[in-house]
Every structure is written in C-alpha cells, then in structure tokens.
Amino acid sequence: MTQSKNLVLRIFATLAIGVSAALAAAFFLQILSTITDLREHQRLWIGALPFLGYLSASFYERYGGRSGEGFKLILDEVHRPQVVIPLRMAPFVMITTLASHLGGASVGREGTIVQMGASLAQQWARFWDLDSKERRQLLIAGASAGFAAAVGAPWAGFIFGLEVLQVGRLRWGGVWEALLAAIVASGTVHLLGFGRSEYGGVSLHDVWHWTLLPALLGLGLIVGVWARTFVTVTHIFEERIKRWLPDAKKRLLVIGFILVFAYAWEGSYRFAGLGIDWIKEAFHDVAPWSQSLYKFGFTVLSVGSGFKGGEFVPLVYMGSALGSALAPFLHLPIALAAALAFVAMFGAAANTPLTCTVLAMEMFGWQLGPLALIVCYVAYSLTPLQGIYKGQRMGRSKFHSLRRKRGI
C-alpha cells in the first residue's frame, strides 16, 4: 500500500470514528435522559437497583468476555496492540450503564461514551486492515472522540486522548487523528442537539490579581487531598469487596441493597444517578459541606462494587460542591470556586490536569485558563500515581519522577 493511499484510508477511518462515536453518544444520551426522568418521577425504580446490578453482572459473565474490563482493556490495547477489543463492548457498556442509572447508582456517563468511541475505533481500524501502530493511533482517536462527544469540548477531548495514556507525559503518536476525531465528534453531537451541559456563568471581571494566588493554592491543595482520598478509598474498597464477594452477581446484589437503604436513610435522593441539577445549584448557592461527602460515599459504593458508568460526573459533582462550600472561606466568588474545583477534581483523580485546564477554558471561558492551570496542577501533584484508570502507564517526565521519589 502506497503511503498516500494509506494516509487517505486513515483520514477516512478517523472521520468515521468521529461520526460513529457522536452517533453512539447521541443515542445513549437520549435514552439516558429518558431513563433519568423516569427514575426521578418514579423513585420505586431505585428499589430495583440490586436486581439490575445482578442482571448486568450475569450479562457480562455469560456474554461479555474481556469487554467487562472496560477502559483498562482499551489502555492495554493502546500500549500492546493485540486486536482484543470486541465490538460488543459498545452495546454492553451502554446497556449496563443505563441499567445502573435506572436504579440510581452514583455513576457517570462519560466513561461509557469513551469506551464506545474506542470500541468503534477498533472496528474501523480492522475494517481498513491497518497495522498495529495505526490501530493504536485510531484507538487514541476513539478515546478522544468519545470524551469530546460526552462533554462537548473538542480541545479537551483531543488532549484527553494523549494525556490519559501515561501519567505525567503526553503521548504524541496519533496527534492529528485525535484532533480530527474530537472535532468531528463534538461538532456532530452539537448538530444533533446534544450540546454540553451548562452549569453556570463564571464572571472574571477584575477577578485576577496576585492576591488571589493563596486562595487558588489553598483550593488546589484541598481538592487534591479530597481527590487522593477518593482514589485511595475506592481502590481499597474495590479490592476488599472483591475478596469478600468474589462473585460479581452477588457483589452487585448486596451493594445494591446497601445503596437502596442508604438512599432511603439520607432521604433527598439527590445523590442518585448524575445529579446535574445539583451541580448547577452549587454554582449559584453555597453548598453544604455534607453534599460532597455524601456523593463521595455513594460513588465509592457504586463504582467500587462494579456498577457501570464511570466517575467523571460524580467527581465533578464532588468537586463543584466542595469548591462552592469553600468559596466563603477562601474569599472567592461561588461560581469561580465551583468551576475550578469542578475541573480540578477530575483532573487530579484521572491524572489529566492539562485536559481539565483546557476543559475549564472551553466550558467557562478562556480567561479561566491561568487560574485553572494553577488549581489543577496543585491538586494533581497530591494524588497517587495510580488514579482511577488502572491501565495508565507511568510516564518519565521530571515531574513524574519527583512524585515517585516522594511516594505521592
């Protein structure tokens, strides 16, 4: 195959990845919206969470194969291409995530869309009969397209595909494929009427001054400690619950019942599912301290036990609520503190601070960039090398080496 012909094939494959990831995302988001409305109007569905979890685990056990490994399998395939990502990963993760949300598990949606994007990318690479290096680049493009389609931010999606692979280091292979796929996916989703969620305006008029630096450092430190605690507790809980209940069906059944009773005990049900409305509220009114703590606990139980959906929305929920609660003490505007903690919480937990700096600029205004850069990297510096994505490799940057020597 000539070099020019190969380039044309890769361009077509990349465009196909962007469009197909967007179509899959739009289809999933439409059903998710319907399911969320159904659960919020008929809370009896939360009582079905244990049984939905049991059925999901049975589904994966019988038909899922390695697709049950989720995003870890995608990262493994990028680092060691073996053509092992099955097409069924996309529909399986979509169906089981919808089941999780119908029952009110505290999980997200972006992780599911990223998995669907990467799974579809693998199929396009096989369709065009590309070699292992080119498949790796298209997998990165699929992850970028999925993230861009999920959050409606093409530049953040582009950086995500390059940054999520290795801690502390961007992987530059497949740069143009990741950028093109992210732009196409985000644009297509927008044309289909699924723009990004608007959480609230952040006014930056006369807000930047050198006296703001201590508040930004303080916010980054607190968010970093909270993100580190979440990652550590989630990994410990996941390890121990698998040891106590090795059968995934029984595990989701038991934890499902615990979540049902915990939701009933708490009483407000604001921590079930996504909770987008409560994130928006944190941008306008000071959130109670308990809000981030409750979401923390429900998410650890949901994600650590194996309910599908991912952590992005729960993490930004925790972050925005924490930032909102801290705003009066740090003398920051509520919306500004909520927005900065919103992005920094996920950036720290996922080891993607640059992605989330760019995400802050796309979602809340480019002027937020310098502030987000400070808060995101301070928070990131405090989190463990093993974040929420277990398949990440360790980078070789100076910053990474420093973190490893310090045991962070």
pLDDT tens per residue, range 322-338: 999 999 999 999 999 99
pLDDT of residue 205: 59
Q: At what angle do helices 312-330 and 110-127 cross, to 10 degrees?
A: 140
Q: Output the DSSP codes for 10-71.
A: HHHHHHHHHHHHHHHHHHHHHHHHHHHHHHHH-GGGGGGHHHHHHHHHHHIIIIIGGGGGTH
Which pairs count as long-range contacts for 266-271, CB under 8 Å and 24+ apart, including other chains? Answer: 266/294, 269/40, 269/43, 269/46, 269/104, 271/106, 271/295, 271/298
* Residue 402 pLDDT class (50, 70, 90 cuts): very low
Domains and CATH numbers, the chain: 3-191 (1.10.3080.10), 210-405 (1.10.3080.10)
Contact criterion met (CB below 8 Å) for 142 and 16: no
In 56-182, beta strands by DSSP E = 166-167
Region for 70 from its dihedrals, namely left if φ exceeds 0, alpha if ψ lies in -120 to 50, beta otherwise = left
β-pair partners for 166: 169, 393
Cα dihedral across residues 49, 53, 54, 55: positive or negative: positive
* Residue 401 pLDDT class (50, 70, 90 cuts): very low
pLDDT of residue 405: 46
Contact criterion met (CB below 8 Å) for 385 and 408: yes
Which range has highest mean pLDDT (112-126, 186-200, 262-276)? Answer: 262-276
Three-state SS for 86?
A: coil
Give tens-digit pLDDT for 224-247: 999 999 999 999 999 999 999 999
β-pair partners for 83: none
* Residue 149 pLDDT class (50, 70, 90 cuts): very high
pLDDT of residue 398: 41
Backbone angles phi, psi at 226, to 5 degrees: -65, -40
